[in-house]
Structure 1
Amino acid sequence: MGLAASPQKKRHRQDPQPSPSSPSTSSNPASPIKKIKKSKYANAPPAFLHNGPTSSASKLSNGISSTSVAGTSSSTLAPSSPSRSRTVPASNVSNGLKWTESALKNVDPRIVEARAALPIASGQQAIIDAVRAYDTVVVLGETGSGKTTQIPQYLFQAGFAERHPVQMIGVTQPRRVAATSLARRVAVEMGQPDPAMLPSVKGKARTAAGGIVGYSIRFEDRTTRNTRIKFMTDGMVLREMIGDVAYGPSSKSIASNDALESTSSSSAAVRSNLLLKYSVLIIDEAHERTLRTDQVLGLAKRIQRERKALRQSWLDRGKPSNETEITELKIIVMSATLDADRFANFFATPSRALAANATLTDPKILTAANDKQHVPILYVKGRQHEVTMFHTEEPAQEWTDAALRTVLQIHVSRPPGDILVFMTGQDEIDTLARSLELYSSELPAWAEAESKPLPMSLMIAPLYAALGPSASAKVFAPTPPRTRKVVLATNIAETSITIPGIVFVVDCGLAKEKTYTPGTAVETLEVSEISQSAARQRAGRAGRERSGECYRLYTQEAFKGLALAGTPEIVRTDLAAAVLQLCAMGQDPYTFDWLDQPDATGLQESVLQLIQLGALDIKTLPALNGSDGEAEKGKAKLVLTAIGGKMAMLPVSPAYSRSLIAAGERGPTVARQVRDLIAILSSDRSILVEPSDPEKRDEANKAKSTFIHPTGDHATLLTVLYSYLGESDKARAMSKARKTEGKVDVKVVEKEAREQVRAWCSNHFVHEKAVKNVLHIRKQLRTICRQQKILCDDDLQEKLANSTSAQDEDPSEEESDSSSSSGKGVDKTGLFVTRKTNGISKPSDDEEDTHFTGLRQSLLEGRIANAALKNPSTPNTYKRITSSASAGATFKIHPSSTLHPSKLAREGGGKKLDAILFEELVFTTQTFARTVSVIEPSWLQEFAQRG
């Protein structure tokens, strides 16, 4: 399928992946393609024409080619050396094969046939042999070759995932949507149950319900004891890498230089973060270079070599029966577009972090394990379906308008097939969705006027991170008959995700990117050009199920001018969370194995911030036995404190985790408030709707006035959440009362209750989907707070209600986020419901602080660096109190804040804002503070004296 070969248009196939011999700087590998005049489709010609299929410019053959670094140049994969291989009894091998065959007994033969047609299938044995022979393998393959879904299955079939002891194949993904969708797809291919449908049961029932494939993402774990192929986000594997070390005393991170025998008693704490349940770790989409991906790469390198040293020591000591056998870890790094040599060289060289702390085993064994390695690079040639590329002849003046025209032209002129449009953000997606819905309603009239066949219906499906799994379900659902689905997505759909039915891709060539500036702590969200790597990834979305077409809203010359790869996140983000996680694993951020060394200023500021929060301390190392005492004397090391260990185990930013710990010390009510607020702030989308229409904006401001709290935005957001829960409780109570009246349709009553809540959200400009996402995060935070012994009043009330009034519960009542309990006027959410004023829930006793003093003080303990004092020299400006801020750096309160001077003036003014606390600084036309609350200057003095 292709566009007409008319004189006005130009086409070429998707840029193939450069071969190992091709220069890495080549911007257009498919140079032999004949030159035809470029398409002007973005300038909206009457229609696209179709004259039949186009021929391929360069046919790529299937198969695997191989190169390697660090001493080997042969393309033939060497057999595994005796020192690397494990001696496994024949009976165990036989039992393992039987178990593997039994696990795959439900595979559909049609799926097996489809998998065999993938380009990667011809290299299955070569991949398995390479993983067996080498510790680390880099796999580079085109989008659509099948590497992400097939390689984990190949390794499972080859016996890399054992039943006893548990050995899993872990697959990391940069994004949640990719991890969940890939797990579900692989589960289908292996004849396993859908992990997303795993019942909420525990114990033996959960084990029986789970299959071989599972996934783990933030706030959602869909794995069981049966899981052997585990898809997870980079953040989740990092949490497993932390292990139990964060709980251990700081002395454990400063071990003695004795032999391994003397450290075996404490090896449990050391080994708990070595991913011992994983035999293979696949780091997918490594080219995206997120901060977490870089952390995973560095930690995996150290863990791999440390496990090798521990295993060799165990073998040399005669395999002591009182010690658990430690296996070696295989690492596979793969992507469709990757600087393969750079990644291979990174894993081939010794680990700096392990060499800097050579205390876990015998130095000779450690040196041997940390020596140079051979790292082969496997190239998967070809893709299952070809993609025809189209560029605009002239740069588009307005890319959103060009995207609209392109989608409509594809819809009225091209054969059936869904469309994927890459856009920059949620606002642009919502705008284009409204425009498409408007134009699609006029298409029947246009077809009649032009005497053309009636076009198919258009189904608009947005896809961005804030939607959540349930809201994005229709993106992956089959397209209805006589309908064309148009998926409007951010770069979340750029990698690893296969959206069924996509044939056409429209690429704007832009993406939103956050940049953090150390020193000023200003975070800028800017629209910037994507890289050639990202452009190829986007184009590859069109050829997953059949031949496709990609329409780039930029010229071919512009493509050649793009950077080869994107800017690593590590050089443009706040490093505080990364430093805390590394220190929790006993790693020194200054000697860590970074693929790209982070900015020295940013790293130093992050360390100082964590010291200020009480998470880190600086200790002086004692002289080690047998070493030069003078050389070691005075050497400092960052050590995790008890508070830091607790912070590291909370899956939120260091500022939020410190605030949550401080709230727990102030009592259960404050702990509940801070926990709920963190859930709101951790959501990807605001719970308040901000209309772009000026008239709607005025209406929204009036509706939101009922929620405004005089202390600022934090309390206001919390009030919105509690008001929503109060309305939900009211609707549920009315529904329950109607059910007891007599013969009523239960489904109708429940639907009316939902509509009542939905109408309340619409009238008050509250985003219901965002609130539900907050409640989901809040539910997970409740579990985590219980685990960390942070008591909240709703948990205490729930225990009291269960112990005193269990007989009054209605077992038929559907479980919800907010169900009122009797006795104390507090429901399970901690929402006081006995008396309300202006729609705001008020307490029934003195426990609830209506001024949220404890809340703001707890937030200040975690955000002390974000406290600011009023600048007396300039009206309505503020300056941070921390010395790390650049001299003279002042800012204003963002216009969206309830404390903005214009809004205070409408309320009569008179409010003193001598000191404020904010969530973030952003730069648009100037620097603004967002999500602001007023604080007392005396609190700053108190915290300064305490520190």
Structure 2
Amino acid sequence: MSVYLGSSVWPVVVLFKMDLIKKQRDLEGKCAPLKVYPLYSSLPSHMQLDVFRPTAPGMRKVILSTNIAETSVTISGIKYIIDSGMVKNRSHHPGTGLDVLKVQRISQAQAWQRTGRAGRESPGFCYRTYTNQEFDSFRKNPIPEIQRCNLTSVVLQLLTLGINPSSFDFMDKPPVEYVDGAIEQLKQLGAIESTASPKLTATGKLMAQFPLDPRYSKIIISAKDYNCVQEILTIVAMLSGESVFVNPPAKREKAVAAQNKFYSTAGDHITLLNIYRNYNNVAQKKIWCQDNFLNSRNLQYASKVRTQLSELCERYKVPMSTCGQDTEPVRKCLITGLFMNVAELQREKKYVTVGSKQVVSIHPSSVLFGSRPHCVLFTEVVQTGRCYLRQLSLIDPQWLTDIVPEYARKHRLTSYAS
């Protein structure tokens, strides 16, 4: 800090440090005259534009950014970069079947890319918060996404084209266990008949028509059996984009109070459903979003995705049924695609995932945080030291037993073990 604060010039500074974004107010209050701006992908457009506006004379601009500023945007006047050497990446663990968002070290190529963001208009400086020895230990290049992410969608599309995924010549060949894991997951979803010689079932062929994670496609197809197609389309659309919540550090209490009216004791998925229903019923959508600390752009995106999914349902004769205000059919339907993402509360008051026996905690952002429900279904896992579950729904363990009895029996849920 002393290096750039002591400079006689008032440069623009960017910090690639994700946890510092939450400390925006602390920096403005404790350091020299600063105007601090957050920058990340789910930030509302009008707040992202603030980054590009000039500050008052004598005021130093500090941008606290995720890796969105690494390649996605070019900000005029950048002179100093402070690189944390960290990035949040999504990776798949075939052994546990979980998709995890994890903060990890960048590659050398990413480090040089970040360095290059300084001095694009004049000489600049990059301060790295890691040693040369640490830099030398970084990977040369980032791991290609196909070698670290869930391949279920890729394998489903290859099978649709009549291609054997096990023998396909990938440009960046993924580990064998990733391909095998994807085939096994498709079998569990009912998309293929056998893992030995995988061929698509009628359900699998229909799943392939939706441009979604196959788990979500299965949920949509199953929704007709629970008379909740409308509700499921909304939830899947809301899960398909960035977070709709806006929680600026300076107005965190106001944001929580405004968003609280949408909260459901049934969980985060129903909360998202409530938000979309309210959004869809107002005329002045942008103003309504600002008043309720919600991201207008991301809700617009969800609306477009929902329209596309509705058209696909009509094309493939999926009836547009609704369960109204009853949330139980919706939560049961979510199990049909996300049954591998279930965790139970143990006697030690810790949550353990049913399939992989991973110790996890409910993320503080969840509406279920602090309530300790016995059994929850979740969308994703975030690892920041501990493993946290995000986007949860309260479920009854018996539902899992009824909907996927073979999976429940294999993994010995409470209802079977007792």
- TM-score strictly above 0.5: yes
- C-alpha separation between the residues in 2 aligned to 1:925 and 1:486? 27
**Residue identity matched to 2:340:** A
What secondary structure does 1:916 align onto?
strand
CA contact (8 A) 1:509 1:554 kept: yes
1:134-176 Cα shifts (integer Å, max 9, x gaps):
xxxxxxxxxxxxxxxxxxxxxxxxxxxxxxxxxxxxxxxxxxx
Match of 1:652 among 212, 225, 234: 212
Query: 2:395 matched to which residue of 1?
Result: 935
What secondary structure does 2:42 align onto?
helix
Query: 1:850 matched to which residue of 2?
Result: 325
Moved more, 641-650 or 599-608: 641-650
Query: 2:415 matched to which residue of 1?
Result: none
- Within a 5 Å distance, the mapping from 1:282-361 to structure 2 comes to none
- C-alpha separation between the residues in 1 aligned to 2:25 and 2:47? 17
Distance 1:504 1:704, change over 3 A: closer
- C-alpha separation between the residues in 1 aligned to 2:37 and 2:259? 29
Match of 1:434 among 17, 20, 25: 25
Match of 1:785 among 310, 313, 317: 310
- C-alpha separation between the residues in 1 aligned to 2:86 and 2:344? 38
Report the CA distance between 1:691 and its aligned residue: 6.5
Report the CA distance between 1:863 and its aligned residue: 1.0
Distance 1:792 1:434, change over 3 A: farther
Query: 1:768 matched to which residue of 2?
Result: 294
- Within a 5 Å distance, the mapping from 1:400-479 to structure 2 comes to 406=4, 408-410=5-7, 413-414=8-9, 418-419=12-13, 421-425=14-18, 427-431=19-23, 433-438=24-29, 443=33, 460-467=36-43, 471-475=47-51, 477=52, 479=54
What secondary structure does 1:467 align onto?
coil
Report the CA distance between 1:530 and its aligned residue: 2.2
**Residue identity matched to 2:389:** A
Distance 1:514 1:790, change over 3 A: same
Distance 1:922 1:756, change over 3 A: closer
Q: Percent identity?
A: 32
Match status 1:672 vs 2:197: no
Query: 2:95 matched to which residue of 1?
Result: 519
Report the CA distance between 1:782 and its aligned residue: 0.8
Query: 2:380 matched to which residue of 1?
Result: 920
Query: 2:158 matched to which residue of 1?
Result: 582
Query: 1:720 matched to which residue of 2?
Result: 275
Query: 1:225 matched to which residue of 2?
Result: none
**Residue identity matched to 1:860:** I
**Residue identity matched to 1:660:** I
Report the CA distance between 1:486 and its aligned residue: 4.1
Distance 1:536 1:930, change over 3 A: closer
Query: 1:662 matched to which residue of 2?
Result: 222
Match status 1:538 vs 2:131: no
Query: 2:414 matched to which residue of 1?
Result: none
CA contact (8 A) 1:648 1:654 kept: yes
- C-alpha separation between the residues in 2 aligned to 1:509 and 1:708? 36
1:152-208 Cα shifts (integer Å, max 9, x gaps):
xxxxxxxxxxxxxxxxxxxxxxxxxxxxxxxxxxxxxxxxxxxxxxxxxxxxxxxxx
Distance 1:692 1:546, change over 3 A: closer
- Within a 5 Å distance, the mapping from 1:621-700 to structure 2 comes to 637-664=197-224, 666-667=226-227, 670-685=228-243, 687=245, 689=247
Q: TM-score, normalised by structure 2?
A: 0.78
Aligned-residue RMSD, C-alpha: 4.0
- C-alpha separation between the residues in 2 aligned to 1:702 and 1:459? 26
**Residue identity matched to 2:210:** L
Query: 1:600 matched to which residue of 2?
Result: 176
CA contact (8 A) 1:464 1:492 kept: yes
Distance 1:434 1:567, change over 3 A: same
1:433-454 Cα shifts (integer Å, max 9, x gaps):
43454467x64xxxxxxxxxxx
**Residue identity matched to 1:424:** K
- C-alpha separation between the residues in 2 aligned to 1:768 and 1:608? 38
- C-alpha separation between the residues in 2 aligned to 1:946 and 1:524? 25
1:646-668 Cα shifts (integer Å, max 9, x gaps):
4334333221222122225544x
Report the CA distance between 1:609 and its aligned residue: 1.0
Report the CA distance between 1:490 and its aligned residue: 1.9
Distance 1:435 1:942, change over 3 A: closer
Report the CA distance between 1:488 and its aligned residue: 3.2
Match status 1:491 vs 2:55: no
What secondary structure does 1:789 align onto?
helix
Query: 1:529 matched to which residue of 2?
Result: 105
- C-alpha separation between the residues in 2 aligned to 1:523 and 1:780? 22
Report the CA distance between 1:877 and its aligned residue: 4.0
Distance 1:875 1:489, change over 3 A: closer
Distance 1:874 1:542, change over 3 A: closer
**Residue identity matched to 1:940:** L
Report the CA distance between 1:786 and its aligned residue: 0.7
What secondary structure does 2:95 align onto?
coil
- Within a 5 Å distance, the mapping from 1:257-268 to structure 2 comes to none
- C-alpha separation between the residues in 1 aligned to 2:37 and 2:361? 38
**Residue identity matched to 1:588:** N
Q: For this pair of structures, how many residues does the alignment match?
A: 406
Distance 1:582 1:422, change over 3 A: farther
Report the CA distance between 1:757 and its aligned residue: 6.0
What secondary structure does 2:243 align onto?
coil
CA contact (8 A) 1:510 1:527 kept: yes
- C-alpha separation between the residues in 2 aligned to 1:922 and 1:480? 35
Distance 1:647 1:474, change over 3 A: farther
What secondary structure does 1:933 align onto?
strand
1:293-312 Cα shifts (integer Å, max 9, x gaps):
xxxxxxxxxxxxxxxxxxxx
- C-alpha separation between the residues in 1 aligned to 2:155 and 2:250? 39
Report the CA distance between 1:773 and its aligned residue: 0.9
Match status 1:559 vs 2:146: no
**Residue identity matched to 1:775:** Q
Report the CA distance between 1:558 and its aligned residue: 3.9
Distance 1:690 1:654, change over 3 A: farther
CA contact (8 A) 1:513 1:526 kept: yes
Distance 1:790 1:894, change over 3 A: farther
Report the CA distance between 1:604 and its aligned residue: 2.0
Q: TM-score, normalised by structure 1?
A: 0.38
Report the CA distance between 1:541 and its aligned residue: 1.9
- C-alpha separation between the residues in 1 aligned to 2:85 and 2:350? 39
Distance 1:577 1:409, change over 3 A: farther
Distance 1:684 1:428, change over 3 A: farther
1:358-398 Cα shifts (integer Å, max 9, x gaps):
xxxxxxxxxxxxxxxxxxxxxxxxxxxxxxxxxxxxxxxxx
1:404-446 Cα shifts (integer Å, max 9, x gaps):
xx3x345xx23x6644x24132x42242x43454467x64xxx
What secondary structure does 1:513 align onto?
strand
Report the CA distance between 1:504 and its aligned residue: 3.1
- C-alpha separation between the residues in 1 aligned to 2:185 and 2:132? 46
CA contact (8 A) 2:350 2:361 kept: yes
Higher relative contact order (Cα pairs below 8 Å, separated by 6+ residues): 2
Distance 1:784 1:707, change over 3 A: closer
- Within a 5 Å distance, the mapping from 1:22-41 to structure 2 comes to none
What secondary structure does 1:768 align onto?
coil
CA contact (8 A) 1:671 1:792 kept: no
CA contact (8 A) 2:22 2:249 kept: no
Structure 1 alignment gaps of length 5 or more? 1-41, 46-405, 444-457, 620-635, 733-752, 762-766, 797-829, 831-846, 905-912
CA contact (8 A) 2:103 2:383 kept: no
Distance 1:934 1:692, change over 3 A: farther
CA contact (8 A) 1:671 1:790 kept: no
